[in-house]
Amino acid sequence: METKSVVKVGSRKSQLALIQTNTIINQLKKLNPNLSFEVISMQTTGDKVLDAALSKIGEKNLFTRELELALEKKEVDFVVHSLKDLPTALPEGLLIGCIYKRDSPYDAVVMHPSNAGKKLEDLPEGSVIGTSSLRRAAQLARKFPHFKFENIRGNLNTRFRKLDEDNKYSAIILAEAGLHRMGWPDRISQVLDKDTCMYAVSQGAMAVECRNSDPFTLSLLSQIHHPETVIQCVAERAFLKKLEGGCSVPVSAFSEVKDGKLSLTGGVFSIDGKQGRIEYACDSLPESIEEKEKPTVSPNGPREFAGIVGSEKVSIATLEVAQRVGLQVAELLLNTEAKEILANAKAETAAAVIAEKQKKDAEKMKNEAEKPQANGIS
Ligand code: DPM
């Protein structure tokens, strides 16, 4: 096996991405003091297209493609992602080599300074809540039909500025994990429980992507693979994969590992939140999740579950149960009206993507037509 003394790590340039990358590197450094790590940061399409709603840009791997190309070209050895931003189908040859212990998976409310100390239930009718997540807007519209939900884009710093300075939004909704990582826990007014807003598949978990043909990096990463998180995320991702959902559909999840059992609740909602369906499945895990087993490595590389490596930390039998629970919840939903709700939500988002593109093209043409002739050639 090829060994390395310097490990190259790809990262997005955003502050949150760099914080996450450094968290993983620091853990690995502690365990491998002789290794050094070099961070190579780059911009992704998602970082460049800040003015359009995420769900309307119409690409699944918006924040990951450039980094994955660097992996494929061996310019970097691994890339740290928020797992919820990673599509359920990864490019050929790439794989999630580890998932780090999950932070809070829940969503949190950040209030406009004039609403400090309040909760969502205290806000008046017509209050504008900023979120670009169809999942958050749909679920919250069920509970708070008297609010207006409007898109807010940009990285977390930009959103805070828009919230505090524009006086348009009464509150915005963000992942609690991101707020903690950025060092803003004191701006959290309220954490949303699963009966108000179930989280996104794999929210709060950081995943490290690498090449499946790179045993050195795979073995390095396996040191920080977190069994309970892996089990939950395999179930949640298998669920999302079966529904063929990306970040552009209102699909949500809630999972637990307790008393040797894994349970998963999954929800599908219409864009306006008026329709929705929730299903649940549970199964016993085959053994204590701490028990280790040698990985089953085939000539095609390690086995994977919804893109996640099956490695020595969690047995294949355990991951098979997790995957089955995920598929079961998806199948239960697809046997109900959720199938149509989901199909309609996808069609609505696809239409919005086309409308957004047409609007952009029209603006571009208008700007070009209005441009003064550059050098007098007529
Ligand atoms: C995805 C969604 C959002 C991110 C959609 C969703 C939120 C989009 C928005 C798939 N990725 O959650 O329904 O509000 O415009 C993202 C965040 C984090 C990772 C920030 C956030 C940090 C938390 C984590 C954006 N991706 O959700 O507030 O690591 O899970």
Q: Over the stretch 5-42, which tens digit does the pLDDT of each residue have?
A: 999 999 999 899 999 999 999 999 999 999 999 999 99
**Does some domain include residue 165?**
yes
The Å distance, Cα 356 to ligand 1 centre, comes to 21
**Quick one: 260 and 147 in the same domain?**
no
The confidence score (pLDDT) of residue 359 equals 85
**Does some domain include residue 355?**
no
Measured from the CA of 20, which atom of ligand 1 is nearest? 29
In terms of Cβ atoms closer than 10 Å to its own Cβ (0-12, 13-18, 19+), residue 117 is exposed
**Quick one: 111 and 87 in the same domain?**
no
pLDDT tens profile 52-93? 554 545 556 777 888 999 999 999 999 999 999 898 889 999
**Quick one: 57 and 123 in the same domain?**
no
**Does some domain include residue 348?**
no
For 146-171, b where at least 16 C-beta lie within 10 A, e where not — what string?
ebebeebbebbeebbebbeeeeebbb
The confidence score (pLDDT) of residue 171 equals 98
Q: Which of 191, 221, 252 is the last residue of a domain?
A: 191
pLDDT tens profile 303-360? 888 888 876 678 889 999 999 999 999 999 999 999 999 999 999 988 888 888 888 8
**Quick one: 277 and 242 in the same domain?**
yes
Residue 240's Cβ-side half-sphere holds a number of Cα atoms within 13 Å equal to 32
Secondary-structure percent of the chain, ordered helix, strand, coil, rounded to 5: 40, 25, 40
**Does some domain include residue 372?**
no
Per the residue annotation, which of 47, 51, 77, 85 is the catalytic one?
A: 85
Ligand 1 mutation target, pool 55, 82, 132, 134, most atoms within 8 A of CB = 82
**CA angle at residue 340 from 338 to 342, to 5 degrees?**
65
**Quick one: 232 and 182 in the same domain?**
no
The confidence score (pLDDT) of residue 293 equals 46
Q: How many domains does the chain have?
A: 2
The confidence score (pLDDT) of residue 44 equals 80
In terms of Cβ atoms closer than 10 Å to its own Cβ (0-12, 13-18, 19+), residue 31 is exposed
**Quick one: 114 and 73 in the same domain?**
no
The Å distance, Cα 344 to ligand 1 centre, comes to 23
pTM (two decimals): 0.91
In the sheet that holds 276-284, the strands lie side by side as 251-258, 261-269, 276-284
Domain span at 280: 6-104+201-339
**Quick one: 285 and 178 in the same domain?**
no
Q: Which of 127, 162, 191 is the last residue of a domain?
A: 191
The residue written with tokens 């500025």 in the block is 161
Q: Which residue has the higher pLDDT, 225 or 313?
A: 225
**Quick one: 147 and 98 in the same domain?**
no
Any ligand 1 atom below 6 A from CB of 56 = no
pLDDT of residue 292 exceeding 70 = no
**Does some domain include residue 358?**
no
**Quick one: 266 and 122 in the same domain?**
no
Any ligand 1 atom below 6 A from CB of 8 = no
For 343-378, b where at least 16 C-beta lie within 10 A, e where not — what string?
eebbebbeebbeebeeeeeeeeeeeeeeeeeeeeee
CA separation for the pair 34, 30 (Å, rounded): 9
For 33, phi and psi rounded to 5 degrees? -60, -20
**Does some domain include residue 352?**
no
Any ligand 1 atom below 6 A from CB of 247 = yes
The answer to whether 333 and 280 have CB atoms below 8 angstroms apart is no
The Å distance, Cα 287 to ligand 1 centre, comes to 33
Q: Which of 191, 221, 236 is the last residue of a domain?
A: 191
**Quick one: 290 and 218 in the same domain?**
yes
**Nearest Cα to 149, choosing from 164, 138, 162, 161?**
138
The answer to whether 239 and 112 have CB atoms below 8 angstroms apart is no
**Does some domain include residue 357?**
no
**Quick one: 97 and 225 in the same domain?**
yes
**Quick one: 114 and 246 in the same domain?**
no
Percent of the chain with pLDDT over 70: 89
Q: Tokens at residue 299, please?
A: 């000539």
Q: What is the CATH number of the domain that holds 134?
A: 3.40.190.10
pLDDT tens profile 177-199? 999 999 999 999 999 999 999 99
**Does some domain include residue 374?**
no
For the question of residue 85 being annotated catalytic, the response is yes
